[in-house]
Structure 1
């Protein structure tokens, strides 16, 4: 006779002695064989599993572009790239007839902190040797020369804008909006 049995109610099922503790949740059991989410639904570092050992193009927060083969990653999306090249883009001589140039500088094995990655794209190996659309390959010295001139012109333009804004708003805007690395 079951002492915990209330009259008019069916008796509770008996658990075997070695069954262990009862389940933590009370309610229906979770459905078995639920469909798995497609890999596109993951927004975590686990999504990098499909990209391992593939050639990638990374765009970093500071504007750098890296091409390399993803070899390893961790839960923070820190990436290890091998055969890495840093790609530089510039518009040469924008005052006359602009030439859009790029160059690749070998960097070897590269460790990228996950929080610095802005964008990741898989490189199509069939089109890997083609120049980027609208660009022609230039010598690194030439690309760096034009890139530096464009940067100097941008800084001068920013300085002029800052002076104009200071005149309108009244006050000195020293160093505002300037990025220091």
Structure 2
């Protein structure tokens, strides 16, 4: 059994492995961990930004990137076998940008409708329809 490594020292075990990093601004980065420091700052190599919309995704090549530790929300190793068997559909960058834009427009239209309807008890209980 390996000894427990506290804090950022535990990232030493995943050096040179493929990681997924979720940032505070909601972006998802995938790349190979090349370096870390005591502040959990990360250096990723062969990095991509992955954008998900429903069951589709697109990848934007970034290359080498330094991520400030305070911006990391979640960090985990990628299982290559599970990634290869994913049910998500890869699309072009242009297509994923278009899907992302449409999703944002739809969300904004829904918010406008909510603002027009105003506050009512019926509106507050709409979330129960999902259950």
TM-score (norm 1): 0.59
Larger RCO: 1 or 2 (CA < 8 Å, sep 6+): 2
- CA distance in 2 between counterparts of 1:104 and 1:47 reads 28
When residues 159 and 75 of structure 1 are mapped into structure 2, their CA distance, relative to the original with a 3 A threshold, is farther
Structure 1 SS opposite 2:35: strand
Matched, 1:123 2:78: yes
Q: Which runs of 5+ in 2 are unaligned?
A: 121-131
Structure 1 unaligned residues grouped into runs of 5+:
1-35, 92-99, 169-181
Q: 2:11, 2:81 → 1: CA distance? A: 22
Q: Distance in 1 between matches of 2:41 and 2:59?
A: 23
Backbone CA RMSD of aligned residues: 2.1
- Between Structure 1 and Structure 2, the one with more helix by share is 2
Distance 1:71 1:164 in 2: 52
Q: What is the rounded CA distance, in whole Å, between the counterparts of 1:164 and 1:117 in structure 2?
A: 38
Shift, 1:79, TM fit = 0.6
* Match in the other structure for 1:66: 29
Larger of the two Rg values belongs to structure: 1
How many positions carry a matched residue from both structures?
Answer: 119
* 1:47-95 Cα shifts (integer Å, max 9, x gaps): 111111111011112111111001111111111100001111113xxxx
From the two aligned structures, give the one with the greater strand fraction: 2
Change (3 A) 1:78 1:164: farther
Could you tell me the TM-score, scaled by structure 2's length? 0.79
